[in-house]
Amino acid sequence: RRGPGLVVERDDLRQAVLEGREGNLVLFVVDASGSMGARSRMAAVKGAVLSLLLDAYQRRDKVGLITFRGDAAELALPPTWSVEAAAARLTGLPTGGRTPLAAGLLEAHRTLARERVRDPRRRPLLVVVTDGRATGARGGDHLGEARRAAGLLADVAGVVVDCESGPVRLGLAASLGAALGARTMRLEELGADQLAGVVRDSRAA
């Protein structure tokens, strides 16, 4: 250029822009109480979480896990992309005790609210694995509390995996699915790979 120094004009500037699709947050809420089949539930869920995380990087997805048992719910796996972190957290998760379903759903509501502030563009998907029963340390309307907690999550896309077993079926998981506005499927029809496939289909919808 003519004249002293280098003249930089607007058209000379370039900027690298990363383009990509919005990611999902797949949040599992799992009954870890002492009811029959707890181990099979946890085995299927652990396998599904790890399977989903294997392709989470390409899809920009995060996966988290809440368990509920005894008197409370726990964020056992904060939303993450890391397979290594998930594998470490998922090893030896405790089971047993009562079934505080409402506490699990309320913890899901709080977790999704925090993640919505951090990344409002990320689409949430809720996967609730339960037989629909609700018990607590003290008397009360535990099922009613669970339904009211479900109402807080009615705007979130979801899947309820019904793990009720035995000859007598109460259909409580299906009722929970209706309260959540979620599709209901049976765990006995799903292994870890099938459960992961169901979630992949749901998050792509």
pLDDT digit string, tens, across residues 28-40: 898 888 765 667 7
67: tokens are 């368990």
Question: What is the β-pairing status of strands 62-69 and 72-80?
Answer: antiparallel
Q: What is the pLDDT of residues 101-127, one digit of tens each?
A: 999 999 999 999 999 999 888 889 998
Q: In the chain, what's the furthest Cα-to-Cα distance?
A: 91
- pTM of whole model > 0.75? yes
The span from the CA of 168 to the CA of 111, in Å, is 34
CA 6 to chain CA mean position, Å: 55
89: tokens are 């957290």
Domains of the chain: 21-204 (3.40.50.410)
